[in-house]
Amino acid sequence: MKILVIEDDTATGAYIAEGLREEGHSVDLIASGADGLVQGTIGTYDVMVVDRMLPGLDGMAVVKTLRATGNATPVLFLTAMGGVDDRIEGLHAGADDYLVKPFVFGELSARLAAIGRRPKIQDAPVTLSVADLEMNLLTRKVTRAGQPIDLLPREFALLECLMRRKGRVQTRTMLMETVWDIHYDPLTNVVDTHISRLRAKIDKPFATELIETVRGAGYRIAAP
């Protein structure tokens, strides 16, 4: 694999790079966040190892910027910040894995191999669109006619489900199983309630409605 390591501690960086090269990997070692961001942007890598506590531009900012620009290269945070909240924050920022220092090199190598085997996100669409409605799956931003639309997590998931299958009817059962991961209960109106909320944000402020009700079947989203 071709691996980018962004680590400001000279000894740690050299130790990681040497170990990975001995395993047959190609390694670029960068010591600052700003330089690492540039290298991660212009280079093509299979995985990245990023320290969170970098001089200048920290590791969180590096990963967030890469994700915002559509870079989906798998990232492993390697850091001394090992609290539960730190790990959650790092994963929410766009990291694929999180390893706390001090670490065992064998575990680092195994984790890099694991995330390197995962299907590449860049092979899947980064954006979904229906007419003038656009969804960025990396930044989780939704716009219509260029206007930003704020969605709650469940609303985003519901809209993503409809947009991924644009033009095709989605039954309430299908939506319940995909968005809520539960089997449909005919006595609940949770799907209809969330569709109504979604329409209030996606359709009502605009001249053309995109979300359709298919009587006796379910819902679909389609360009007019």
CATH number reported for the structural domain that contains residue 186 in this entry = 1.10.10.10
Burial track 98-127 (b if 16+ CB lie within 10 A, e otherwise): bbeeeeeeeebbebbeebbeeeebeeeeee
- Do 77 and 142 lie in one domain? The reply is no
pLDDT at 125: 64
The DSSP code for 126 is: S
pLDDT at 183: 67
In this structure, the answer to whether residues 136 and 102 fall within a common structural domain is: no
What would the pLDDT profile of 2-12 be if each residue is shown by its tens digit? 999 999 999 99
Shared-domain flag, residues 7 and 117:
yes
pTM over 0.75: no
What is the domain range of residue 180? 127-221
Residue finishing a domain among 93, 123, 153: 123
Same-domain pairing of 185 and 199? yes
Q: Confirm if 31 and 5 have CB atoms less than 8 A apart.
A: no
Q: Are residues 10 and 100 in the same domain?
A: yes
Write out residues in the chain with pLDDT < 70, as ranges.
119-125, 183-187
Q: For residue 184, what pLDDT is reported?
A: 57
Same domain, residue pair 139 and 33 = no
Q: How far apart are the first and last CA of the chain?
A: 46
The C-alpha atoms of residue 160 and residue 128 are separated, in whole angstroms, by 8
Which of 80, 105, 1, 9 is CA-nearest to residue 43? 1
My answer on whether 6 and 112 are in the same domain is yes
- The tens digit of pLDDT for each residue in 16-61 reads 999 999 999 999 999 999 999 999 999 889 999 999 999 889 999 9
Query: How many folded domains does the chain comprise?
Result: 2
Residues constituting the chain: 224
Last residue of a domain, one of 99, 123, 147: 123
